[in-house]
Amino acid sequence: MSRAQLVVLGAGPGGYTAAFRAADLGLDVTLVERHERLGGVCLNVGCIPSKALLHVAKVLAEAEDAAAHGIAFGAPSIDLDGVRAFKDGAVDRLTGGLGQMAKGRKVTVVRGEARFTGAHAMEVDGERLEFDRCIVAAGSHAVRLPGIPAEHPRVLDSTSALDLADVPERLLVVGGGIIGLEMATVYDALGSAVTVVELQDGLIPGADRDLVKPLHKRISGRYAAIHLGTAVEAVEPDGEALRVTFGEGGPEPAAFDRVLVAVGRRANGDRLGLDAAGVELGARGVVPVDRQMRTNVPHIFAIGDLVGEPMLAHKAIHEGKVAAEAAAGRRDAAFDPVAIPAVAYTDPELAWAGLTETQAAEEGVTVEVGRFPWSASGRALSSGRPDGMTKWIVEKGSGRLLGAGIVGPHAGELIAEAVLAMETGADVEDLGLTIHPHPTLSESLGIAAEVAAGTATDLPPVRRRSA
Ligand code: NAD
């Protein structure tokens, strides 16, 4: 039996951040993780390895696009072992670094599967571990679909898709959300004929349609097919391949070499024995918490995917800090962001933060939208990618910045300025007065604000009604 002042359950970005922050605040911390390596899904089988593969995809796509700019490289020669080694190297460095940082902070790492046995105790692989306080950061798992044999070696989830066992000739991606489309970007660049099937009537349903449009247009020209408003009825082994039947309104049955299922994730709240600790559960495995990330049991906190959407590492990291500070007795700690950015690292990238135009319409918020098409951006044109767009969603009358959306290469980097502007209460005038370097894509945020303020000079004049 062992005991700690604070036990953090789960060593993903939320969990290790909480553990390290709590240790820095002087608590004696034990971090429990079922996998050998720290870092959770994000570092080991999510954000980081996928970004390594997306980097490779970007290089391939840029080399291909360069043919239109007077440079031809010829067909690439792809060494899958080399690609895998590059990806694994990035993961190894990061996860190894976490182990060192845990040691440096004297955080005890316990490996094993944890289950609560009481309000101050859990069992980790049969060993009792007691705690004064606990932060639960046990994440989420991929949703499975009835009719699709998840255990079949040719049926992939986001984890096995990253293994890159081969480059299937015909890949079906079920789910046109962020994971599905990021992996589609990778396999398309490597040479697969990609088909996407999405249940809703548009890709990336959470994003505004004008952001999705350039992505849809580009991938429609590259992929074998995109079927919207379509369900997969069944996936059956058929010799070496998989035979897929689609629901009403869908295409004829077809054969694929691999099928990737990426239809969302579900919180792990009902897999931890939390009832033994008296912690109440919400719907779909989500654990309800207050602004300090406390569950209904005041000394037990929950963070990250476990507390629900958006299931994003950067949200978990900030929640982890709040929970650690609250667990260390800081009364003013609270998770209260103005905006949480979302990024799809597709080609082009999509990024948005704060209120979307769709939400504004649904909630009856009257807004003005300042849009700057990248076809008028010198930097986008001179990079051969004028297909992007930047927009601000602004409160009518006050000029307050409520939301931003960007589509185009580097959108994920550019959105950070928009988040800072919203967090610090800037308005359209502040953004317009901020001198952005020229020529950059970052200028598009300043110019989109000018469009909203009516002071833009980088677009044709707005026709004024005569007085
Ligand atoms: P998602 O919710 O983003 O997308 C799932 C998609 O599958 C949706 O478009 C949904 O309409 C569709 N779908 C659901 N059921 C379907 C069905 N039966 N047939 C066809 N389509 C169906 O989920 P995801 O892409 O699996 O990602 C899971 C989580 O991980 C999300 O919360 C996401 O935000 C997060 N994530 C984030 C990033 C990032 O920030 N770049 C990357 C990967 C994952």
- pLDDT value, residue 467: 44
pLDDT tens figures, 190-204: 999 999 999 999 999
CA-174 nearest atom, ligand 1: 20
CA dihedral for 346, 349, 352, 356, sign (positive or negative): negative
Which atom number of ligand 1 is nearest to the Cα of residue 265?
28
Q: Ligand 1 centroid vs 203 CA: distance in angstroms?
A: 10
Q: What are phi and psi of 303, to 5 degrees?
A: -145, 165
- For ligand 1, what atom is nearest to the CA of residue 143? 26
- Pairing relation of β-strands 350-354 and 401-407? antiparallel
Give yes or no for residue 256 CB within 6 A of ligand 1: no
Residue 402: inside a domain: yes
**Nearest residue CA, atom 14 of ligand 1?**
263
Catalytic residue flag (residue 436): no
Which pLDDT score is estimated for 296? 98
Tell me, yes or no, whether 135 and 273 share the same domain: yes
| Buried b / exposed e along 405-429 (16+ C-beta atoms within 10 A) | bbbbbbbbebbebbbebbeeebbbe
Using the atom order of ligand 1, give the atom closest to the CA of residue 345: 41
Of the residues 293, 327, 361, the one at which a domain ends = 327
pTM score, whole prediction? 0.96
Query: Of 294, 327, 360, which one is at a domain's C-terminal end?
Result: 327
**Do both 128 and 270 map to the same domain?**
yes
Ligand 1 centroid–CA 428 distance in Å is 33
Is there a domain that residue 290 lies in?
Answer: yes
- Over residues 224-281, the pLDDT tens digits come to 999 999 999 999 999 999 999 999 999 999 999 999 999 999 999 999 999 999 999 9
Residue 90 lies in a domain: yes
In this structure, the answer to whether residues 8 and 135 fall within a common structural domain is: yes
Q: Is residue 149 assigned to a domain?
A: no
Ligand 1 contacts CB of residue 180 (under 6 A): yes
Q: How would you class 283 by CB atoms within 10 Å of its CB: exposed for 0-12, middle for 13-18, buried for 19 or more?
A: exposed
257 C-alpha vs ligand 1 centroid, how far in Å? 22
Q: Return the residue whose CA atom lies nearest to atom 8 of ligand 1.
A: 177
CATH code for the domain in which residue 448 is found: 3.30.390.30
Kindly state whether residue 466 falls inside one of the protein's structural domains: no
- The tokens for 96 are 């190894």
Do both 352 and 444 map to the same domain? Answer: yes
131 with 270, same domain: the answer is yes
> CB neighbours (10 Å) of residue 440?
16
Residues 366 and 437 placed together within one structural domain of the fold: yes
CB 25 within 8 A of CB 328: yes
Report the alpha-carbon distance of residue 28 to residue 364 in Å, rounded.
Answer: 49
What separation in Å is there between the alpha carbon of 141 and the centre of ligand 1?
A: 12
- Ligand 1 center to 372 CA (angstroms): 28
Q: What is the Å distance from ligand 1's center to 233 Cα?
A: 18
Low-confidence ranges of the chain (pLDDT < 50): 467
The total domain count for the chain is 3
Q: What share of the chain is helix, strand, coil (3-state, %, to 5)?
A: 35, 25, 40
The residue whose CB lies within 8 Å of the most ligand 1 atoms, and thus the one to mutate among 41, 50, 178, 305, is 178
Same domain, 306 and 349: no
Ligand 1 atom 40, closest CA: 343
**Predicted local confidence at residue 462, as pLDDT:** 77
Domain match, 423 and 403 both: yes
Ligand 1 atom closest to Cα of residue 142 = 26
Q: How far is CA 92 from CA 53, 73, 387, 429, in A?
A: 15, 32, 36, 45
- pLDDT tens-digit profile of 293-346? 999 999 999 999 999 999 999 999 999 999 999 999 999 999 999 999 999 999
User: Per the structure block, which two tokens stand in for 97?
Assistant: 């670094």
Catalytic residue among 55, 314, 410, 438: 438
271, 347: one domain: no
Q: Is residue 51 part of a domain?
A: yes
**286 is a domain residue:** yes
Residue 391 lies in a domain: yes
Report the nearest-CA residue for atom 26 of ligand 1.
264
Residue 203 to residue 408: CA distance in whole angstroms: 16
306 lines ligand 1 (CB under 6 A): no
Q: The domain containing residue 193 runs over which residues?
A: 155-263
* Distance from residue 178's CA to the centre of ligand 1 (Å): 5
Which of 181, 265, 345, 352, when mutated, tests ligand 1's pocket best, judged by the most ligand atoms within 8 Å of its CB? 265
Statement to judge: residues 314 and 370 lie in one domain: no
**CATH number assigned to the domain comprising residue 183:** 3.50.50.60
Integer angstrom CA distances of residue 393 from 292, 337, 355, 372, 461: 29, 17, 7, 12, 20
Last residue of a domain, one of 213, 229, 263: 263
Same domain flag for 14 and 134: yes
For ligand 1, mutation pick of 53, 156, 179 (most atoms within 8 Å of CB) = 179
Both 309 and 248 in one domain: the answer is no
